[in-house]
Structure 1
Amino acid sequence: MPKRGYHHGNLKAALMESALDLIEKKGPTGFTLSEAAKQAGVTPAAVYRHFEGREDLIAEAARQGYEIFADLMEHAYQSGQPSALAAFEATGRAYLAFARKFPGHYIAMFESGISVNRTPELAAASARANEVLEKAAEDLSKHIPEDRRPPASMFSAHIWAMSHGVVELFARNSPGRASPFPPEDLLETGIGVYLRGLGLIRPDD
């Protein structure tokens, strides 16, 4: 395999590409830094110019993932405006779309055991993604009487948990588990039940 990345001044990007592929295929603990280096076409020693070990490589994949995730969530939120309900529902769907389109990043973010507080940059990227969903929840919750209004952070956490559950159980090809309905339908109806319970959408006739 011809060496790439290092000689072209793009070692870090080549390593990330390899790492994301290996994370998706083998899981976050199923490969070594040497494997990532070999797949990127560089020597293991060259890797240490950018990363101290495999966990640093995975943490960088998670940081990149949160940045992409936050951008997608923000775009979904803005595309649903000026309706607070449409914006909120769009952010939920964006979660599912992200998990499908960026599986390596998703695994690094949520299944690697890497703390979001490992680096300030990772913590900031994670917080930005959470803030978008919380902002959408806050906009929507203004339609609930104040005495029945949950905190926006709780509201958004409920939807995040529901979205994550649908992804983990039914959208990531869990062995031996098949969804009785499309994941999009499960998420949409689940959010609908939740919002009806809060009085934010009308009950079915």
Structure 2
Amino acid sequence: MSWRKESRRAERGYHHGNLKEALLQAALGLIAEKGPAGFTFADAARSAGVSPAAPYRHFRDRDELLSSIAQRGFEQFEAVLNAAWDDGRPDTVIAFERVGKAYLAFARQEPAFYSAMFESGLSADINPALHAAGERAFGIIRAAAARLAALAPPGVARPPALMMALHIWSMSHGVASLFARGDAARRKLPMSAEELLEAEVLIYLRGLGFPAERRTAPEDRPPAAASGPWGKRST
């Protein structure tokens, strides 16, 4: 759901005392227009139609306001990724591809949340709930990578699932930040962002020994444990 729709509800709710929500939606709108570093605490208050002192009833400062927005973004992100992964059904590779597409779709459809989550420069210690929400979202990518790692061909050295998850996340985030966002200045591509990410992941998996033509896994059962320096480390 976009911040614009929520903002209209927040404006109606504010008259019933929903100041905190009004401030969150006002800040989301400012992030969409100016980026997470482009507004002040007073700007958020002005956009919400309240006095400069009003935000202090709910937030210590601008960083706490931003962290609340980022936390909400990660909670929505987690739900989107979890629905796409669907515990690897009906097939690990297909489900894994869905996760990548869902990642890009979230970045495109919720650019304000995405900016707050990844571009606000907030310390991980500022909000434990924000840190936990981010870890839960990443945990879905890590779980998907672990399931995929278990399907690596026998005899091929493969990295631990955590490292695979970090590699895949880096690729997804790079494509999302450069090509899948909603800003007009993004570089034009001769293909879709989804096609670019799919090609990157395919090249990566081929480097780990996965057959290039493998698009489905009829039974999706993991082979025998791989040997090599990373052999049995799957988490």
- Same fold at TM > 0.5: yes
> Is the CA contact (8 Å cut-off) linking 2:26 and 2:48 kept in structure 1?
yes
Structure 2 equivalent of residue 159 of structure 1: 168
Partner in structure 2 of residue 175 of structure 1: 185
1:108-143 deviation digits (Å, cap 9, x = unpaired): 111110123321101110110011000000011101
Match of 2:203 in 1: 193
Question: Does the Cα contact within 8 Å between 2:14 and 2:21 map onto a contact in 1?
Answer: no
Greater shift in the superposed pair: 69-78 or 162-171: 162-171
Aligned length: 202
Partner of residue 140, structure 2: 132
Of 21, 24, 27, which aligns to 2:32?
Answer: 24
Distance 1:69 1:139, change over 3 A: same
Contact 1:63 1:122 (8 Å CA) reproduced: yes
Q: 2: CA distance between counterparts of 1:32 and 1:80?
A: 43
**Unaligned runs of at least 5 residues, structure 1:** none
- Partner of residue 184, structure 1: 194
Deviation at 1:180, TM superposition (A): 2.9
Q: What corresponds to 1:100 in structure 2?
A: 108
Judge which range, 148-157 or 172-181, deviates more.
172-181
TM-score by length of 1: 0.90
| Equivalent pair of 2:85/2:96 in contact (CA under 8 Å) | yes
Root mean square deviation, CA, Å: 2.0
Q: Which residue of 1 aligns with 2:46?
A: 38
CA displacement, residues 171-200 of structure 1 (integer Å, 9 cap, x when unaligned): 234737322321111111111111222223
2:124 to 94, 101, 116: 116
Say which is worse superposed, 60-69 or 77-86, in terms of deviation: 77-86
Identity of aligned residues (%): 50
Match of 1:61 in 2: 69
- Give distance in 1, aligned partners of 2:42 and 2:77: 28
Tell me, which stretches of 5 or more residues in structure 2 are unaligned?
1-10, 215-235
Q: Which has the higher contact order (CA 8 A, sep 6+)?
A: 2
Q: Which has the higher helix share?
A: 1
Query: In the alignment, is the contact (CA less than 8 A) between 1:28 and 1:112 conserved in 2?
Result: yes
